[in-house]
Chain A
């Protein structure tokens, strides 16, 4: 199994604060990898560093064996990396259709992917002309994921998809992520360990800006001591 994404020892500052102090991880092709850790450990900053939204000041990031650190965010994204930010950050003033259309990188992207997207999230088809601000939390989250599926992305960075959603909707979301992971590689940040352990094949634990442990999710589930130590009681 080759690695789609490799991060070697990145350091990221936000203003004066040293948020990431040596994060290294690898995301194998075709897998779901979960990024675990406590609040404020640096999970979201890791995702943003990959995309260059908070550019790392040291270290290397390779996507398909090519260096992508030091490039502008739009150049990195255009290589085939989709971002689903936390807090369901869709564009509220745009309609559902526009939220999808804005993600097109080539003309006709949306038309090619429409069928797949609506098969994952049938609700969106019904809501297509509504403004984003009228959608419920779950619908907004679905739209945020759908938006990342419009262009030909190889890697999806998904940040806290289950945050603040009802259990029924989380089930739906998990089913969708599982299905789309048959075509895409996913790096998932997830606070809810039960969700993460059911979805991901691999895990990376980040603590205080350092990647401290990574491996197969199956091994972690059988290791309550590690879970307690790094993720609190789970």
Chain B
């Protein structure tokens, strides 16, 4: 047992000694602050790294667009938090579009009645038609948005206004010529056409290919397999579509009331909604990305890597186009934003009363949101995902699939669906990280890149496919970064130098890479990686 883990134990011992040496070089107050800050940076890194490691472990996809999902989550969260009216305006068209996608399983039944599945060209034509319909309809739906060009109407101004507690929204406006009812009908139709053409395109792959040419797909086997359960599934889908349609129309009818209600909730609840919304947005985008773009490329890893890299660029441009270039802030929720008399809080009891933004611990000032809340959320996610992996059937399938996904499929499990789920889960965690990090690091179209780099380094340190490894690697990277920043201020006294050596800020990212290089030299598989 001891022999097996000898190298791991030695590496951990060396790291512990280095850690103690580093902390000896400063006062207890500074040491505590640095450790807490390191853990908090580690927590945000972990939210990105954990998804990356799940996706890489199960699907062998190194998702270079993960930082972009982190960023998109942050921007979606900001929108819910600062402009709830825009989100309410967007819900009806989105719900109507989804109706068509939810009804996708109906299409094979309908088309099956007609005899055979139409050729792929009809799928592409349908896709184009849905696009045109959306382009015509969407501008005619009244939506209140910000303007990236006009400073008074820009995200920057709205962020400032929210932090001052006074938000005033412009009225919803439509730029297209159609009446809103016709436009909404157009969106609904576009969703149905979209669902139909996607069904045609995905069914195309079911037929057997003979020398590169697709033969017509066969009808499903007769008898017991397709019978009641199939119709049951169709019924469930139809009910879901009906509810979606109803919800969309309800939101449309109660638009103003809903906006007023959301604003009345206050920043704490809105922030909670932003966390949920940012997570779901990133998860949906991740799932969509896996289904449409990554899936056809599982046999071609290099293309896949290029694809995720390209998506990262596209995501960056998308954010610049929608939210504008300038960086802006996301005000902290009231729970963590108290100032004035009695702040920073002297004790936890005082904090609970005043909700100060900072608290005194051992004489050092600690920011409650950045340095305590983030760590707690990181721990909660760590425990929740570990439980999911160890206790649930899905977790069991993921752990088995990491080793041999073909064998899992041969057991009768739809591995492709599990892939999509895990991709969405990983993307959702990144989105959650984005919303959480936004109040402390601010929003910018480049915010995803540095986090992605940190997460990749953390992953390499922890062993690419190991989930605990991702956690340990993230914490190590966070601590390393914070220690180097601190030593950049106080300097490291070296015996052969007159003046203490002060690492410059540019050495901060280099130090984490150095840590990775040293660990990988000692353990080429990373701390928790395994040799295959």
Taking Cβ atoms with an 8 Å cutoff, the residues of A that contact B are: 51, 53, 55-58, 66-74, 77-79, 83, 85, 89, 91-94, 98, 101-103, 105, 147, 151
Contacts and interface: CB of A to CB of B under 8 A. Distances in A.
Contacts of B222: 66
Closest 4 CB pairs of A and B: A77-B412, A78-B412, A70-B208, A66-B221
Nearest to A60: B208
A102 B218 contact: no
Given A74-B412, A74-B413, A83 B407 contact: yes
A140 B399 CA distance: 18
Contacts of A72: 409, 414, 416
Contacts of B404: 89, 91
Contact of A101 (B208, B396, B406, B412): B396
Given A51-B410, A73-B406, 13 more contacts: A53-B406, A53-B410, A55-B208, A57-B209, A66-B223, A67-B221, A70-B207, A70-B217, A74-B414, A79-B225, A85-B407, A89-B407, A91-B404
A151 B412 CA distance: 10
Contacts of B411: 74, 77, 83, 102-103, 147, 151
Contacts of A68: 221
B289 interface: no
Contacts of A91: 399-400, 403-404, 407
A81 to B, nearest CB: 8
A94 B412 contact: no
Contacts of A58: 208, 210
Interface string B198-231: 0000000011111100000110011101000000
Residue of A69, A93, A102, A105 ringed by the most chain B CB atoms within 10 A: A102
A110 B415 CA distance: 21
A74 B397 CA distance: 13
A21 to B, nearest CB: 14
| Chain B: interface size category | 20 to 34
Contacts of A78: 412
B402 interface: yes
A44 to B, nearest CB: 12
Contacts of A57: 208-211
B408 interface: yes
B408 A102 contact: yes
A77 B409 CA distance: 8
Nearest to B404: A89
Contacts of B397: 102
A49 to B, nearest CB: 12
A83 B409 CA distance: 10
A85 B406 CA distance: 10
B415 A94 contact: no
12 contacts: A57-B209, A66-B223, A68-B221, A69-B208, A72-B409, A73-B410, A74-B410, A77-B411, A89-B404, A91-B399, A91-B407, A93-B402
Given A57-B211, A70-B218, A92 B409 contact: no
Contact of B218 (A67, A74, A79, A98): A67
B209 A93 contact: no
Given A53-B410, A91-B403, A102-B396, A74 B208 contact: no
Contact of B399 (A85, A94, A151): A94
B436 to A, nearest CB: 30
Most B CB within 10 A of own CB, among A73, A77, A151? A73
A215 B402 CA distance: 41
Contacts of B416: 72
A83 B406 CA distance: 11
A53 B409 contact: yes
Contact of A98 (B223, B396, B410, B413): B396
Contacts of B218: 67, 70
A85 B410 CA distance: 10
Contacts of B407: 83, 85, 89, 91
Interface string B386-409: 000000010011011011101111
Contacts of A66: 221-223
B412 A105 contact: yes
A94 B206 contact: no
B418 to A, nearest CB: 10
Nearest to A53: B406
A73 B406 CA distance: 9
A69 B206 CA distance: 10
A141 to B, nearest CB: 14
Contact of B409 (A67, A73, A93, A151): A73
Contacts of B410: 51, 53, 73-74, 77, 83, 85
B22 to A, nearest CB: 35
Nearest to B414: A74
A213 to B, nearest CB: 27
A57 B210 CA distance: 6
Nearest to A69: B208
A7 to B, nearest CB: 14
Contact of A93 (B206, B221, B403): B403
Contact of B403 (A55, A56, A92, A98): A92
Contacts of B225: 79
A62 to B, nearest CB: 10
Contacts of A53: 406, 409-410
Contacts of A55: 208
Contacts of B393: 101-102
Nearest to B417: A74
Contacts of A70: 206-208, 217-218
A105 B412 CA distance: 7
Nearest to B390: A98
Contacts of B221: 66-68, 79
A69 B218 CA distance: 10
A89 B404 CA distance: 8
Nearest to A58: B210
A77 B412 CA distance: 5
Contacts of B412: 74, 77-78, 103, 105, 151
A198 to B, nearest CB: 27
Nearest to A101: B396
Nearest to B411: A103
A69 B209 CA distance: 11
A68 B223 CA distance: 13
A115 B185 CA distance: 59
Nearest to A147: B411
B215 to A, nearest CB: 8
A94 B397 CA distance: 10
B223 A94 contact: no
Nearest to A51: B410
A94 B400 contact: yes
Nearest to B407: A89
A151 B402 CA distance: 22
A9 B203 CA distance: 25
